[in-house]
Amino acid sequence: MSVSSPQGPVAAGSPYALWAPLAWEAVRLEGSGHLGSWQVSASSGTIEHCVQHMTSAGVLDNLRRVTGAVTSDHRGPLFADSDLYKTLEAVAWDVGRSDRRAWVSGVVELLRAAQEPSGYLNSWFQTTTPGAHFEALRDGHELYCLGHLVQAAVAWHRTTGDRALLDVAVAFADHAVAVLSGDRPDGYCGHPEIETALVELYRETHDTAYLDLARTMVDRRGRGVLANEHVGPRYYQDHEPVRAASEATGHAVRQVYLATGVTDLYLEQGDPDLLAYAERIWASAHRTKMYVTGGLGARHRDESFGDAYELPAERAYAETCAAIADVMWAWRMLLATGDGTYADAMEWTLLNAVAVGASQDGRSFFYSNPLQVRTTHAEDKDWNSFVHRVPWFDCACCPPNLGRLVATLGHYVATSAPGELHLHLYADGEVTADGVTLRVRTGYPFDGRVVIEAHAAVRTTLRLRVPGWAEQWGVQVGGRPLDVAAVRGYVAIDLPAGATTVELALGMEPRVLRPHPHVDAVRGCVAIARGPLVFALEGTDLPDGLVVEDVRVEAGSCEVVEGVPGLDSPVALRVQGRRLPAAPQPIYRTDAATDDGTALDLTLVPYHRWGNRQQGGMRVWIPEVVR
């Protein structure tokens, strides 16, 4: 593959990547499949919705305040510019499905008009503290906003060849390099994100100044000085140097974006200490602090990670942005290591913790994503604790973040290495790289059969991911079973020159998941998964008068049934359960509560589809009937 080909969000060519992303146009998802239809929905739903809200939420007017075109007050948080930049990035990656070039041109002209001769651009600081550049790095989000501007500009340049937005971003980035590269030990952002963006700007421009600044910011972090009256240095991942850190801690989104940037630096510079850091933080986050849905962040306070195994279901914060960041981080870890563990996590998080963040039409959103909602829960009791999705937020980071990720789903499908092609996500579509074309047909993630029509110009090794959850699986090549083991999560298939049909069959029997003994919050409960999807019980599927709190489940009985009306899912699960006595019970008692003997058929739906019908209770972890 030529690195000069148009690239996706992470460009190929990193010297320490074991596997390389494909060119941007190498993967074509079809609307008949799950991922392709998600992109279509996001294009007309989420992304268009975000474009409209850049006007209605006042984000564009904030920039017009800088130019003097409007005199109204600033609207939204001080980092509202980042919502515009994420929307621009989503529009850029969506350019093949929609044409919003006129809108982008208008926004670029506005940015040019607002940008100072130095390159500085920030609608909040230019109108509240003019001339004060990078003096409030702890909480000001200046570099965070710059990072998202850079990513939008790189995306627009890669998909259209237009440099206009890139020139704006480069001018701002050059100003940051000039101001922060010298004797500025405090020159790093309280909200990491700039690091991964600067590495990508280096990949786009080959200007090492951006790579050097990203490295410098990572090296500066850990001085223990980022703190305010509400939170300490751990919140900002500033309590210890990066190379010494071993625990995922603090604000979840910040932690994951920091780890993403550190992994990017490893891919370019090969510092083993940086990869070791990423592996340690990954283990902490995913082995002791991850929800069964893939969500990250247990605490509403500070939107932060909790202690190891502190994973309360109904108090889960599990911010949508944290899940999105985790997909991006997992992808980079996969590129660095070639280990299917990261592809498994990427898919699981994408299809559960990310997908739940938007409604079926893509126009309303969850900010936090609990695994249990009580029937009587009042959403106004907790910040960002909603029992139904809403069209927008005062802090609207999640909707445009969803837009930009879903627009790039094809980027995460496949990679290559010399003489090899690797499939990570299974979806209807076509992959073309290095003289090989793969035509993929599948009902995945609802069906485990994946049929691949391969056409190779030369002999090639095809690596297919076998998910860690697949207890039963098999591969056929040309209609004949292949006796082969999976290594690091992938089965290697020798593709001769010419046409070959490959079929992967993944066992999709429902699985009962039980929590680690230290996860006290859901002890005695089970969750049900099928394939890469976690399922949930919704009150709307219970008989009248019965609520989710009064249900127990017989974990041994589960069958796949047709999807329920009103939900975009071809399958649901039916399990047997029992109900607690209908009579009032004391809040505490000396004897154990028992089931009343009434058997129930319970319908479970994919977790990512909950909340699309009537408002009511929901739970992923369901108490198990005790015999």
Cβ-in-10-Å burial (0-12, 13-18, 19+) of 98 comes to middle
Whether 494 is covered by a domain: the verdict is yes
**What's the pLDDT at 101?**
98
**What's the pLDDT at 380?**
59
**Total number of domains constituting the chain:** 3
Domain stops at, among 487, 506, 525: 506
**What's the pLDDT at 388?**
86
**CA dist., res. 428 & res. 443, Å (int):** 8
Whether residue 486 sits in one domain with residue 385: no
Whether residue 611 sits in one domain with residue 482: no
Whether residue 450 sits in one domain with residue 388: no
**What's the pLDDT at 327?**
99
Cα distance between the two ends of the chain:
59
Domain stops at, among 488, 506, 524: 506
Q: Could you tell me the mean pLDDT of each successive run of 10 residues in the chain, 627 residues long?
A: 73 98 98 97 98 98 98 96 99 96 99 99 97 96 99 99 99 99 94 99 99 99 95 98 98 99 99 99 99 98 97 97 99 99 99 98 97 85 72 96 99 98 99 98 99 98 99 97 97 98 98 98 98 98 94 91 94 95 85 80 98 94 90
**What's the pLDDT at 623?**
96
Cβ-in-10-Å burial (0-12, 13-18, 19+) of 378 comes to exposed
Whether residue 493 sits in one domain with residue 519: no
Whether 428 is covered by a domain: the verdict is no
Whether residue 286 sits in one domain with residue 163: yes
**CA dist., res. 601 & res. 268, Å (int):** 54
**CA dist., res. 369 & res. 391, Å (int):** 15
**What's the pLDDT at 1?**
36
**What's the pLDDT at 4?**
56
Whether residue 314 sits in one domain with residue 381: yes
Whether residue 377 sits in one domain with residue 459: no
CATH number of the domain that residue 466 is part of: 2.60.40.1180
Domain stops at, among 381, 412, 443: 412
- Binning the chain into helix, strand and coil, the percentages to the nearest 5 are 40, 20, 45
Whether residue 406 sits in one domain with residue 460: no
**What's the pLDDT at 381?**
47
Whether 2 is covered by a domain: the verdict is no
- Residue 612 domain boundaries: 511-623
Whether residue 390 sits in one domain with residue 271: yes
Whether residue 235 sits in one domain with residue 177: yes
Sheet holding 473-477, edge to edge: 27-29, 429-433, 436-442, 449-456, 498-506, 473-477, 480-481
**What's the pLDDT at 383?**
59
Q: Are residues 524 and 624 in contact, defined by beta-carbon separation less than 8 angstroms?
A: yes
CATH number of the domain that residue 372 is part of: 1.50.10
Whether residue 294 sits in one domain with residue 210: yes
**CA dist., res. 386 & res. 367, Å (int):** 8
Whether residue 550 sits in one domain with residue 439: no
